[in-house]
Amino acid sequence: MDLLPQEWFHTLRQEYLQRFVGQGGSSVKFVVTDSDAARVGVQTQLATLAQQEGYACISVDAKDTKIHMMDKFFHQIARQIPWDELASQFVRRLLQENGYQIPEKKEEFCMAGVARMNERAEPLLRRDLNSWLERAIYRDTQMCQEFRMAMIRLCLGQMDSGSEVPFMTEPVKAWLCGEIRQISSLKEALIFQKISRTNARYMFVSLSRWLRLVGKPGLVVSLDLHRCLVSKKP
């Protein structure tokens, strides 16, 4: 059955983004275009649809990334994920679910600011937050352990955002993006190995789970394989 482009996008939105994938499924779709302009148009429209439906949308080009290597593939995805934004959303929701008021100003969203607004002692708030993060993230075995520890550090870093360098957030993000130089710098975060071909697949699955925990219906990856069709390097 032949479908016009707009009919295909309508089916993709209605049957997959709004239903199947949003309810926990996964799917791979292949699109073949007759020109570079058409290929870019498909990628743009797919990104628009995904964002409208609340998905995290990532674009990966085989021209720039060794997509056959899972660690390189994951690192490229990680570089496009707004890690701090997602962690901040998760912490805010966690606090609100436990009856806390949240400062409207971003600069006041820190341990001291939230404690002051809710008339709590800062050490007690920190203890409560650690306990909530343990239950919500650390005990979620659908994510691998080192990914869980990384997300906990990023969440804690949002509450330490009043400091010039939030505790451990930059090394953790560098680790996720494959840019960490010395893994020993993450020892305090209980992360002891780099992301490699042996564990990158588990990291990718963990990311998909994390996005759902944050409140997104899923992840859409637009993978441009045009470079793989070129028989010889230009």
167-192 pLDDT, tens digit per residue, is 688 999 999 999 998 898 898 889 99
Cα separation, 183 vs 181, in Å, equals 7
pLDDT band at 107 (very low <50, low <70, confident <90, very high): confident
Q: Is residue 13 part of a domain?
A: yes
163 & 224 share domain = no
119 & 197 share domain = yes
33 & 104 share domain = no
Cα separation, 216 vs 218, in Å, equals 5
Q: Is residue 26 part of a domain?
A: yes
Helix (H, G, I), strand (E, B) or coil at 58: strand
Q: Under a CB-based contact definition with an 8 Å cutoff, are residues 209 and 217 in contact? A: no
Predicted confidence (pLDDT) at residue 71 exceeds the cutoff of 60: yes
Give, for 219, the enclosing helix (H) or strand (E).
Answer: strand 219-224
* Number of structural domains the chain divides into: 2
pLDDT band at 56 (very low <50, low <70, confident <90, very high): very high
199 & 88 share domain = yes
pLDDT band at 53 (very low <50, low <70, confident <90, very high): very high
Q: Is residue 11 part of a domain?
A: yes
Q: Is residue 61 part of a domain?
A: no
Q: Is residue 129 part of a domain?
A: yes
Predicted confidence (pLDDT) at residue 208 exceeds the cutoff of 90: yes
93 & 162 share domain = yes
Q: Is residue 196 part of a domain?
A: yes
Question: What was the pLDDT predicted at 104?
Answer: 84
pLDDT band at 233 (very low <50, low <70, confident <90, very high): low
3-state helix, strand, coil in the chain (%, to 5): 55, 5, 40
98 & 123 share domain = yes
157 & 89 share domain = yes
Cα separation, 136 vs 130, in Å, equals 10
Q: Which amino acid is at 85?
A: E
Question: What was the pLDDT predicted at 21?
Answer: 92
Q: Which amino acid is at 180?
A: I
According to DSSP H, which parts of the chain are helical? 5-11, 36-52, 70-78, 83-97, 111-117, 122-133, 145-159, 169-176, 200-214
88 & 168 share domain = yes
37 & 139 share domain = no
Closest CA to 176 of 25, 104, 74, 105: 74
Lowest mean pLDDT among 33-42, 89-98, 205-214: 33-42
Domain membership of residue 11 as a residue range: 5-55+217-229
Question: What was the pLDDT predicted at 200?
Answer: 96
38 & 112 share domain = no
Closest CA to 159 of 128, 187, 192, 191: 128
Listed ranges 1-5, 8-12, 110-114, 146-150; the one with the highest mean pLDDT: 146-150
Lowest mean pLDDT among 72-76, 185-189, 228-232: 228-232
Cα separation, 125 vs 226, in Å, equals 51
51 & 153 share domain = no
Question: The whole model's pTM is what?
Answer: 0.88
87 & 159 share domain = yes
The DSSP bridge partners found for residue 16 are: none
Distance separating the N- and C-terminal Cα atoms of the chain: 37
Q: Is residue 192 part of a domain?
A: yes
